[in-house]
Structure 1
Amino acid sequence: MAELITTARPYAEAAFSYAKEQNKLSQWSDLLNNLALIASDAVMAKLIANPSVSNENKVSVFAGILGADLTTQAKNLLNAMAENGRLNAVGQVAQIFGQLKTAEDKRVQAYVVSALEPTVEQKSKLSAALNSKFNAQVDIDYQVDKTLVSGLRIKVGDWVIDNTAHTQLQKLRAAIAN
């Protein structure tokens, strides 16, 4: 997976640069998400991986499905990826593009898992703290996991705070074992 993300990054950055220059970030985001959805289909994944199918045919399948929604520039991106044997990274291109767009929009996605449903006041305080920490508008997705017993886990990109009872007990167990 890490290799595909590394492979996908230059394509995503090029698409992002072009889309930003053309003031079409939302359109490109939607288009790349549609391409990723198509590429994630099991039959399409087999077609992409099949070396006996020409690159032109692989790209034409994408074009046939999207029809007029596939712009010339997006088709050029697919052709470049196909020529370099990188069509299997379309999903990661869409993912990285989405991250770049989110950063450009000064928006950040956070995932909070807690043992109990947070109150409105707790959500407000957490939102304010995360907005301040990341200097961006933080969209928070809350989930309840009763197996955590108490505490919460916050994940924003690669940044993670895990203050759950489960994690604290694991740390204590490890400390006692050493």
Structure 2
Amino acid sequence: MAQLMTIARPYAEAVFALGLEAQKLSEWSEQLDNLATITADEAMSSMIQNPLYSDENILSVYSEVMGGNLTVEGKNLLAVMAENKRLSAIPFVAEAFHVLKAAEEKRVRATVMSAREVTVEQKKQLNAALNAKFDAEVEITYVEDSTLIAGIKIKVGDWVIDGSALSQLNKLGAAIAQ
């Protein structure tokens, strides 16, 4: 997965620059989401991996499914990615694009994982702290994960803070093993 994100990042940055210049970030966002959904389809994924299908065959499926919602620029993106055998990275292009778009709009997405349900007061404190940390409006998704034992884990893009008991126990085990 990390490899696909590395492959996807330059495409996402190019599309973002193009969308920003043309003031069409929302249109690109929708188009990339649709392309990602098509790519993630099991039949399409198999077709992309199958060497019996030519780039033209695969691109025609995208065009047919997208219909009039596929722009000339979108077709160009698909053509370049097909030529470089990178079509399977489209969902990661969409993901990286959304991160760039959110940063441009001063929005950040965060995931907070906790062993137990987070209280309203804790949510307020986390929201204020993350808004200050990232100087942006942070959209937080809360997930309960009992395997953490206690504590929380916060993930914002590549930035992670792991304050879970599970993490501390793993560090302690590694220290003892040395």
In the superposition, the TM-score normalised over structure 1's length comes to: 0.92
Offset at residue 73 of structure 1 (A): 1.2
Name the counterpart of 1:82: 82
Distance 1:51 1:147, change over 3 A: closer
Offset at residue 25 of structure 1 (A): 0.8
- Structure 2 distance, partners of 1:3, 1:152, is 27
Give a deviation string over 1:1-25, Cα, whole Å, max 9, x none: 3332222222211111111111111
Name the counterpart of 1:98: 98
After superposing the two structures, state which structure 1 stretch, 30-39 or 137-146, moved more.
137-146
After superposing the two structures, state which structure 1 stretch, 66-75 or 160-169, moved more.
160-169
After the TM superposition, which residues 4-19 of structure 1 pair with which residues of structure 2 at under 5 Å, given as runs? 4-19=4-19
Q: Which amino acid is 2:73 matched to? A: Q
2:117 is paired with a residue whose SS is coil
Name the counterpart of 2:144: 144
Offset at residue 170 of structure 1 (A): 2.4
After superposing the two structures, state which structure 1 stretch, 31-40 or 3-12, moved more.
3-12
- Structure 2 distance, partners of 1:170, 1:10, is 35
1:153 is paired with a residue whose SS is strand
Offset at residue 29 of structure 1 (A): 0.8
After superposing the two structures, state which structure 1 stretch, 126-135 or 4-13, moved more.
4-13
In the superposition, the TM-score normalised over structure 2's length comes to: 0.92
- Structure 1 distance, partners of 2:34, 2:90, is 10
Q: Which amino acid is 1:100 matched to? A: L
Offset at residue 85 of structure 1 (A): 2.0
Q: Which amino acid is 2:42 matched to? A: A
After the TM superposition, which residues 55-66 of structure 1 pair with which residues of structure 2 at under 5 Å, given as runs? 55-66=55-66
Name the counterpart of 1:22: 22
Q: Which amino acid is 1:138 matched to? A: V
Give a deviation string over 1:58-84, Cα, whole Å, max 9, x none: 111001001011111111111121122
2:138 is paired with a residue whose SS is strand
Matched, 1:54 2:49: no
- Structure 1 distance, partners of 2:149, 2:81, is 47
Q: Which amino acid is 2:154 matched to? A: I
Offset at residue 89 of structure 1 (A): 1.6
Offset at residue 174 of structure 1 (A): 2.8
Offset at residue 175 of structure 1 (A): 2.8
Offset at residue 37 of structure 1 (A): 0.9
1:52 is paired with a residue whose SS is coil
After superposing the two structures, state which structure 1 stretch, 54-63 or 168-177, moved more.
168-177
Q: Identity percentage over the alignment?
A: 56
2:73 is paired with a residue whose SS is helix
Name the counterpart of 1:39: 39
Report runs of 4+ in structure 1 exceeding 4 Å deviation: none
Offset at residue 126 of structure 1 (A): 0.9
Distance 1:31 1:172, change over 3 A: same
Name the counterpart of 2:2: 2
